Amino acid sequence: MIPICTASAQPIQTHLPFLQNESASYAGNEVAGGLREEKLPTPAIAIGIPTARGAEFGDLFGGGSYQRYLGSGLAQRDDGAAFTGLGLGDARKTVGVEVRYAVYDLVDDPFSEGSLSLKVHRHVYRGLSMAAGIEDMVQYGGWDSKSAYVVASQTLSLRAGEEIFGREVLTGASATLGVGDGRFNTMEHLSNGTNGAGLFGGLSVQLLHNVSVMGMWYGQDLSIGLSAVVPGPVPITVTPAWVSVLGTHTFGDRVALSVGTSLRLP
């Protein structure tokens, strides 16, 4: 695996790592990232990109994810990740700090690589939050894909009280916009072996209290998916996605699935 920042001039595929970190991010950034006022877990507002929401003091979360590349000609078509994290601070009074530990490459060489990521986030005003973070800030096992970013997220209430078959619809929407390097590089930067900055972002619409649909741009291509909270004694957030829908990424499209849960201490 060739690090993005140090890759020399070779064919484009040698510059593009399998995105185990992205796989962990499908749920890892959002399992504990719902509105603080909510009594129950809420569905994710993003897939494969960080948002300005995050865990605060008393929030614990964890889960796992899997993705499969659909294109032929790849020696390794599957990968996965497991993650766990906690929150510190108060995003409304000062800042919230989310710390996430992830292990990568669960299919080929399980638990051989991992990292520690950090996000500092602040609730600004009426659903607007801002954050800055570093993914893979501390790494081991040869994994080298550090990515720094800044991001803003806005959550809006669209409609309340209307029901279909006894369920509320269009309860809210969220928009996220950020800039980062590393895995958020443009395809041009990746093909040249350089580490520049790229834009990422997306939109999410919460159709029911426990279901949302999303479209995201992760720096090189578009992803679409949905997220649902499965109720129970321990609610589970399930987030399936179709990644690289437009086919502009060299590795082609892939499917991903993540599951996670969170616990909010009193």
Q: Which structure tokens are listed for 195?
A: 């580490």
- The band of 187, judged by pLDDT with boundaries at 50, 70 and 90, is confident
Domain assignment present for residue 235? The answer is yes
User: DSSP characters for 84-143?
Assistant: EEEEEE-TTTS-EEEEEEEEE-TTTSTTSEEEEEEEEEEEEETTEEEEEEEEEEEEETT-
Q: Which structure tokens are listed for 53?
A: 């929401």
The residue segments making up the domain with residue 45 are: 4-260
Domain assignment present for residue 219? The answer is yes
* Number of domains making up the chain: 1
Q: Which structure tokens are listed for 207?
A: 């159709």
The model carries a pTM of 0.83
Domain assignment present for residue 252? The answer is yes
Domain assignment present for residue 34? The answer is yes
Burial 22-32 (b: 16+ CB within 10 A, else e): bbbbbbbbbbb
The Cα 232–Cα 244 span in angstroms is: 33
Q: First-to-last CA distance in the chain?
A: 43
Domain assignment present for residue 266? The answer is no
pLDDT tens digits, one per residue of 21-73: 454 444 444 554 444 445 556 788 888 899 998 888 988 888 888 888 887 76
Domain assignment present for residue 40? The answer is yes
pLDDT tens digits, one per residue of 62-107: 888 888 888 776 666 677 888 888 999 999 999 999 999 988 877 7
pLDDT above 90 (res 114): no
Domain assignment present for residue 91? The answer is yes
Domain assignment present for residue 265? The answer is no
The CATH number for 132's domain is 2.40.160
